[in-house]
Amino acid sequence: MSLNRIINSKSFDIGKSLLAFNLRYNGKFVPHPPQYRCFRTQARSLAYAKDLFLGQINKAEVFPYPEIGNEELEELNQFVAPVEKFFNENVDSKKIDEDAKIPSETLDGLKELGLFGMQVPEEYGGLGLSNTMYARLGEITALDGSIAVTLAAHQAIGLKGILIAGTDAQKEKYLPKLASGEHVAAFCLTEPGSGSDAASVTTRATLSEDGTHYLLNGSKMWISNGGFADIMTVFAKTEVVDQEGVKKDKMTAFLVERAFGGITSGLAEDKMGIRGSNTCEVVYDNVPVPLENVIGEVGGGFKVAMNILNSGRFSMGSSGAGMMKKLIEMTAEYATTRKQFNKKLSEFGMIQEKFALMATNAFVMESMAYLTAGMMDRPGVPDCSLEAAIVKVFSSEGSWICVSEALQVLGGLGFTKNYAYERYLRDCRILLIFEGTNEILRMYIALTGMQYAGKILTGKIKEMKRGNLGMAVGMMGQKLRSSFGGTKDFGLTGKDGLVHPSLADSALKLEQNVYLFGSAVESVLYRYGKSIVDEQLVLKRVADVIINLFAMTAVLSRASRSISIGLRNHDHEVPTPADTGTEMYHAPENNDASIKKIAEQILEKRAYVCAHPLDRTF
Amino acid sequence: MKCARCLLRLQGLGSVVPSARTANRYAYLLQSTTAPVLTKPLVAFNSHGEASRHFHGSSAWAKSSPPSSDLKEKEKEIDKSLLSRDELFERVARNAKTKAAFDKAIEAFTKRDRRRRGHVEFIYAALQKMVEFGVERDLAVYNRLLDVFPKEVFVPRNFIQRMFNHYPRQQECAVQLLEQMENHGIMPNVDTKVLLVQIFGEKSHPMRKYQRLMYWFPRFKHVNPFPVPRLLPSDPVDLARLGLTRIANDLDAKVTVYQMPYTDITETGEEITLPHIVGTQSPDQVELLAKHDPSRPVFVEGPFPLWLRNVCVHYYVLRADPLPPGEKVEEPYDPERSLYYPLELSLELERDMGDLGDDFDVEDLDEGPVFAMCMTGQGDQATLNQWISGLQEANAVLGRVPTLFRLDAGPRELQSPAGESHRPHPPPETDPCVPGDEGGAGPARQEVDVTLEEEPQHSRGVKQ
């Protein structure tokens, strides 16, 4: 998949520091002078998760854990502090939830902080944040689900089309106002009869008789910000004549201003969670859209939509982690003050286990999110959509489980509306549904990997099917070896190992698992061939394994870095990868000691103790 | 007559039965000489008294062991006794053939003779009359019939009796009763069990039969995933609706009544009867029909029979010939269809040989697609044409497609005796069981009746 992506100056700086080990894998890489945005149409040849399908570990992509320079960190902290202050003082989540509306003062505050243009380049009046920095701010905005979704609908998908495929004129015209928050954007793709099936989109854009503009007709459903968005990215079918002269209906993306007229928004939906965000139906009735408002090419809307969707997901990991950290603090407070049988709740093993689970999940989410963001910020045009989807699936499900466990700790208290916990539960349910449901993303994860592995393995498998004896014997030998517990050395451990020696056990498990996964993928391909698309249950298992493998990698990489550079509380991170590793290794091991260790530290400090992955010691 | 044949058979069968019987006889003689009690008439049914047990036993023996020389005479006598049993029923049936009348007959029998002489014959007669009285599906009646057997008398008392077939006629009769229950799908209850234990003991053949029924019946109770209601609707429209939903087992399918049955008298005094037309079509079929190439004809075919318990209805289908293999157009794969994941992989690997899945589309069949179905009271072309024009409202394409009628002979001919040989067998319990209508290809229950008459011993051996 070719992607047009903007590498802004900041991300390039970060990239520079990582250039040393990146160059090898980036033959086509030419250093660009800073301050220039560059367009690349060719995807970087390799990314990490795809290689796992071949049973390989592409170490250079994930080790060492990506970090940002001191300057960026400082700059970031300057952004973070006021935003954090604003969310703690000026945002009344309870009221937003009850009124199902974000007050205009709050929105104005957000606009002043520049949160409506986080990823818009500075030249257009945005903050011009890199993906990593965007993820960091996402941690804070996630403290209120409604605000997070409003912001995400505005910039993660709403105006992303202009950033990815817009012309300079479009950018100059729209981005400044969008970045300042004067205009709010929305992304209009879903229709009553069309969710992920582009073929059933019925909204049509027909060229007017004089050929100066399109006339847009149709209706869109479940549009976040649909009630008040001024600029909308609308996808509609247009008639396109292809090379053979055949007329065909193809999707085209349009930039539609509410000011064009003919746009009506329905009543806001009454939702279970994220109630403050505005979701409604939008109807277009003969809306005139000038020709220059087509995003990308006419008939190229499908690619635009896919790229927007694929790029919008990665930040959910850090949002989830941000929410979890807050939740751990709140729940720990309760668990350490409530007493039963003259014992604090926090002294009970089963309660401790829940805290360990929450902390581990938050840790893994954080690790995956910043690893992916770091990979995306590297120079070149990395295709990290697979990783982003993995992060989305893992963090949405992790958040849901954790909020549920937190409610369990709180007992009846969590079930009442007097406290915020039930709101967290409601808000967090949508994470599993929007931006592509987790089921659909699992299909995407598994099939993208299968396609990649299948291209490379086709020759080998065909040879085997033809009855090549030598190959079969070789395979048998390999299988036999692995069944006797033979491992493959990917060079993570040992003398020149990339993983800190104290994590060697976990690293070995990862290596073993990757190797086994590779052979499993091969047998699946051997068995089903291209008909694997119809074997959803097999694909689901494949996706689950790859999600776990990526999680293990992220945790190992991050913990190695923390230990190596001596981050605060780094010793607390040691049990986590061991824990995560064991959990995902499906080996019945007794983790009680590490569960207790993690939980006790958390409950003692009444907070999530691990250092932030972006922190530096020097 | 039937019983006489039974008797003959029993006598001719192996040495086991007679020897047991002789043993009994001797025991009786012995007892009669040693026990003066017997000379007194029995006052009441004594459940523990040896004497009464043997008294009853001997009654069976006395009838079933005549010297073979005057067999014919005996046969006549039994004929008469059976006749009297039938008469018993005929007499009570004079007013109405109801359950109450049936009960009355049983009561009359039990009251008439305290010793219940001839109870086996009576039960056989009663079993035959059950359908006539409409009580063949009534468990209470079966239990009452079982109650006619004297209690305790036939329970084997030692291992030799247990080993041999103790009171075979009585056991056979009870097994037959249970078998009739089985054929009508009646599950015995605990009362049945208590009665059987009282009459024949824990390890008798009827008890075994009972245990087998209780083993299989609960397991088979819901074995049919498409149960037919026991009482079918009498209205032909409702019946057609039921039949159509049964064939087109699709919850989305819509059953439409295109015409209600209607009788009218015109001004000229002619009577016009409009038949009912009930049709069904699912959205999938509408879609399939919409895609149909208008240059290829569609066919109305029928009638095809459908049995619902003991009723046969006929249906018609609207179908087309399958496309010749060359003309099948596969929908091309559109890579710009799914926004989230690829719907197809561009790999050259096929599914492994041993792993071929089987798809089966209910509508799009190899023998051609079926677009709609209907049932009507009158299968002529005019009526069916009305159905087609009704269908046209939802399927505009029908206006452009040539429609051919390929109708077989009407349903009436199909039901005639000549056509009966290829009539499907309805399930046994649904059989009408009309006496005298045994000419058809024997449904199971009638087969049972036949075996009952001819070789009870064999039937018991197989069916138990």
Residue B434 reports pLDDT greater than 70: no
Q: Which residues of A have a catalytic role annotated?
A: 435
Instruction: Count CA atoms closer than 13 A to A207's CA, side-chain side.
Output: 14
Residue A44 three-state SS:
coil
Q: What is the pLDDT of residue B381?
A: 85
Residue A561 reports pLDDT greater than 60: yes
Q: Looking at the complex, does the CB of residue A578 fall below 8 Å from at least one CB of chain B?
A: no
For the segment B221-255, what is each residue's pLDDT rounded down to a tens digit? 888 888 888 889 988 899 999 999 998 888 888 89
Q: What is the pLDDT of residue B225?
A: 86
Residue the block writes with tokens 């004089």: A210
Q: Looking at the complex, does the CB of residue B360 fall below 8 Å from at least one CB of chain A?
A: no
Q: What is the pLDDT of residue B354?
A: 67
Nearest alpha-carbon partner for A138 in A333, A308, A392, A332: A392
Residue B198 reports pLDDT greater than 90: yes
pTM above 0.90, yes or no: no
What ipTM was estimated for this complex? 0.73
**A218 φ/ψ angles, rounded to the nearest 5 degrees:** 145, -175
Do the Cβ atoms of B386 and B278 come closer than 8 Å? Answer: no
CA dist B47 and B154 (Å) reads 12
Question: Which are the contacts of A484, defined by CB distance < 8 A and separation ≥ 6?
Answer: none
CA dist B424 and A142 (Å) reads 69
Report the range out of B6-10, B142-146, B286-290 with the highest average pLDDT: B142-146
B412 pLDDT band, cuts 50/70/90, is low
Amino acid at A107: L
Do the Cβ atoms of B301 and B362 come closer than 8 Å? Answer: no
With pLDDT > 90 as the criterion, what percentage of chain B qualifies?
23
Residue A254 three-state SS:
strand
**Using CA atoms in the order A134, A139, A140, A145, what is the torsion angle rounded to 10 degrees?**
110
With CB atoms and an 8 Å threshold, state whether B351 touches A305: no
CA dist A369 and A551 (Å) reads 10
**B202 φ/ψ angles, rounded to the nearest 5 degrees:** -70, -30
Distance in Å, alpha carbon of A243 to nearest chain B alpha carbon? 16
Do the Cβ atoms of A140 and A82 come closer than 8 Å? Answer: no
Q: Which of A199, A462, A534 is facing B337, going by the closest CB pair?
A: A199
For the segment A490-532, what is each residue's pLDDT rounded down to a tens digit? 777 777 778 888 888 888 888 888 888 988 898 899 888 888 8
Over residues A572-591, the mean pLDDT reads 59
For the segment B334-378, what is each residue's pLDDT rounded down to a tens digit? 777 888 888 888 888 888 776 665 666 666 667 788 899 999 888
Question: Which are the contacts of B112, defined by CB distance < 8 A and separation ≥ 6?
Answer: none
With CB atoms and an 8 Å threshold, state whether B349 touches A302: no
Over residues A279-297, the mean pLDDT reads 92
Over residues A567-592, the mean pLDDT reads 63
With pLDDT > 70 as the criterion, what percentage of chain B qualifies?
66
Report the range out of A366-375, B35-44, B432-441 with the highest average pLDDT: A366-375
Do the Cβ atoms of A9 and A128 come closer than 8 Å? Answer: yes
With CB atoms and an 8 Å threshold, state whether A458 touches B339: no
Between A2 and A437, the more confident residue is: A437
With CB atoms and an 8 Å threshold, state whether B349 touches A458: yes
Q: What is the pLDDT of residue A458?
A: 86
CA dist B32 and A311 (Å) reads 106
Do the Cβ atoms of A213 and B351 come closer than 8 Å? Answer: no
Q: Are strands B298-308 and B403-407 parallel, antiparallel or unpaired?
A: parallel
**A603 φ/ψ angles, rounded to the nearest 5 degrees:** -70, -25
Q: Which of B336, B346, B355 is facing A198, going by the closest CB pair?
A: B336
Q: Looking at the complex, does the CB of residue B352 fall below 8 Å from at least one CB of chain A?
A: yes
A168 to each of A155, A163, A296, A468, how far by Cα in Å? Answer: 18, 10, 12, 57
CB atoms within 10 A of CB A478: 14
Do the Cβ atoms of B248 and B318 come closer than 8 Å? Answer: no
B44 pLDDT band, cuts 50/70/90, is very low
| A470 alpha-carbon distance from chain centroid | 44
Residue ranges covered by each domain of chain B? 15-75, 83-220, 236-323+365-463
Chain A, window 418-447: residues with a beta carbon less than 8 angstroms from a chain B beta carbon: 436, 440-441, 443-444, 447
| A184 alpha-carbon distance from chain centroid | 22
The H or E element spanning position B30 is helix B16-34
Q: Looking at the complex, does the CB of residue A146 fall below 8 Å from at least one CB of chain B?
A: no
Q: What is the mean pLDDT of chain B?
A: 73
Do the Cβ atoms of A310 and A385 come closer than 8 Å? Answer: yes
Residue A427 three-state SS:
helix
Q: What angle do CA A607, A611, A617 make, to 5 degrees?
A: 145
Q: What is the pLDDT of residue A610?
A: 83
With CB atoms and an 8 Å threshold, state whether A196 touches B344: no
CB atoms within 10 A of CB A486: 11
For the segment B256-269, what is each residue's pLDDT rounded down to a tens digit? 898 888 787 777 77
Do the Cβ atoms of A139 and A378 come closer than 8 Å? Answer: no
Residue A252 with chain B: CB contacts under 8 Å:
none
Do the Cβ atoms of B349 and A525 come closer than 8 Å? Answer: yes
Size of interface A-B (CB pairs under 8 A): 83
With CB atoms and an 8 Å threshold, state whether A454 touches B345: yes
